[in-house]
Structure 1
Amino acid sequence: MTRLNNYIINLLKKKLNTEDIKEENLKILNKGKFANAFVYRYTDSDHDYTIKDFYHCPFIVRVLFGRIMAKIEYSTLKKLSGIKGIAPEVYMLSPFTIAFSYVKGKPLKAYDDGSNPVPVEFFHKMETLVAEMHGRNIVHLDLRNLGNIIRGEDGNPYIIDFQSSISTKHLPERVRTILENSDISGIYKSWKSVCCEPLPEDKVEFLDDFNNIRKLWVLRGYPISRAIKRMKKSIKKRRKG
């Protein structure tokens, strides 16, 4: 890990234009396998960043997919700059590495045991946040994953992990509506799972209707993710052969 740590530290030094970046302030949060990023947190008295890096991936995956996913997330965060609930700072450290403001709080999946239900006001704010995101022609497409919605230390919602996001600016209205409804269904799914109050009937009906549509949705699983899985299986077969 020291080699990778040094790599990240040097990228930060170059981007932030300072030598006062120390390896002891860097810790790994998640060791992604194959085509998934390593996720780090760098924190000191002046900086607090999440860092996602695909450098460890196999060469083809890193060049084809790591570069694409890092660029998608960077570009999306830049487009959403200024919206409360979206990381306010983002940097492209390398073609395979991005850094953005660390969000202090807990993902909604941490509340899934029902011991500490989330106030309903959180989900009203989440609806506003997602509407602002859609207003800038961005859909997240993975808000049904409770790990991507954070309840911040201030009690407000934050959205992370924009690797699956796309722009809807030039899409047909019908397609755009379906994709936006996917994000909204993620809010209602988490509301139903972890909120202190039940999901209202009209929203239950919306969620049920969307779940029926989703069974036929061609983007289920997302094209890039499916391509990565196929590549992974192919590499495993060659190794066994």
Structure 2
Amino acid sequence: MKLLRAYPENTVIEGDIYHYQCILKDDFFSINILYRSDSGRRFVLKLSDFRFVFGLLFRPFAAWMSSHEYRIYSMIKDVEGVPALGPRLGRRGYFHEYIEGKTLHEWPRDKPLPADFFDRLGVILSQLHQRGIYYMDLNKQGNVIVGDDQQPWLIDFQICQSFRLTNSLWGRLGARVFYKMIREDIYHLYKHKRRFQAEALSEAEASLATRSRFGRRYNRFLGGPFRRLKRLIYPQGSNEIIWYKWKKLGDQSNRTS
């Protein structure tokens, strides 16, 4: 298994040398490793892998998953609120910039978010939708970071789906499905706002925080079974619980002032 999980002690990104710092997340499907340059900038190496019996047989699928996520990331790498994209590492890994902050999952309930936080998160989401990308995973609070700069950041594009919104027959059919599916992204956006900023939720936003009939069917036949399968695989529950688990022990790395 160590062979599958091999990763470099040092790497070069944009001409700077980055050194291994710690493991951020290690689960059944991937390992996320933090690297730091002498200047203090950090990048995360996301290495797709399967750590279970016969996981080696799924190595080609792990490579496909990594390639898929990198392709999606490349389509949105210039969107403000998406961490900077770094280089690929082999067939199963790639780097992206590490964002200092806390995920919504970690955010204290008694601490207010910036008033326009969800408006700005909605802008990020809208830009993904304009490029034909259904984010699909916004239900997880661990995928939204409240940066130290108080800006929203969106991470983890592994299960995103892209659609070709063309004028062809298949393009028009795909568009009909796409616009129904992104309603789920919008639902989760305002569901989070209702949870964290209920007093600021408008009537229009409150209506969007209710699942559509298509959304209920989607959740019943696809979303729900998918989450139940993940819970069978993850003994400790969703990976948002173990994302940044190293913070619970305290960041022992050297920090620049």
Q: Same fold (TM over 0.5)?
A: yes
Report the TM-score range of the alignment, normalised by the length of the smaller protein.
Answer: 0.7 to 0.9
In the TM superposition, what are the counterparts of 1:1-241 in structure 2 within 5 Å? Answer: 7-9=6-8, 13=11, 16=13, 20-22=17-19, 25-33=20-28, 36-46=29-39, 47-55=41-49, 57=51, 58-64=55-61, 66-111=62-107, 113-169=108-164, 170=171, 172-195=174-197, 197-210=199-212, 212-217=213-218, 218-220=221-223
Which has more helix, going by share of residues?
1
1:72-97 per-residue CA deviation (whole Å, 9 max, x = no partner) reads 21111110021101122232101111
Q: Distance in 1 between matches of 2:15 and 2:119?
A: 41
Gaps of 5+ in 2: 165-170, 235-257
Q: Aligned-pair RMSD on alpha carbons? A: 3.1
Q: Distance in 2 between matches of 1:201 and 1:17?
A: 47
Which runs of structure 1 show a deviation greater than 3 angstroms over 4 or more consecutive aligned residues? Answer: 1-5, 15-22, 225-232
CA contact (8 A) 1:164 1:222 kept: no
Secondary structure of the residue aligned to 1:172 is helix
Identity score, percent: 22
Amino acid at match of 2:203: E
Pair 115,230 (structure 1): closer, same or farther in 2 beyond 3 Å: closer
Secondary structure of the residue aligned to 2:22 is strand
State the 1:19 CA deviation: 9.7
CA contact (8 A) 2:183 2:215 kept: no
Scaled by the length of structure 1, the TM-score of the pair is 0.79
Q: Distance in 1 between matches of 2:124 and 2:16?
A: 37
Number of aligned residue pairs: 221
- Tell me which residue corresponds to 2:240: none
CA contact (8 A) 2:17 2:38 kept: no
Amino acid at match of 2:23: I
CA contact (8 A) 2:120 2:152 kept: yes
Amino acid at match of 2:117: F
Pair 195,110 (structure 1): closer, same or farther in 2 beyond 3 Å: farther
Relative to structure 2, which stretch is displaced further, 158-167 or 97-106? 97-106
Q: Distance in 2 between matches of 1:19 and 1:156?
A: 26
Amino acid at match of 2:199: E
Scaled by the length of structure 2, the TM-score of the pair is 0.74
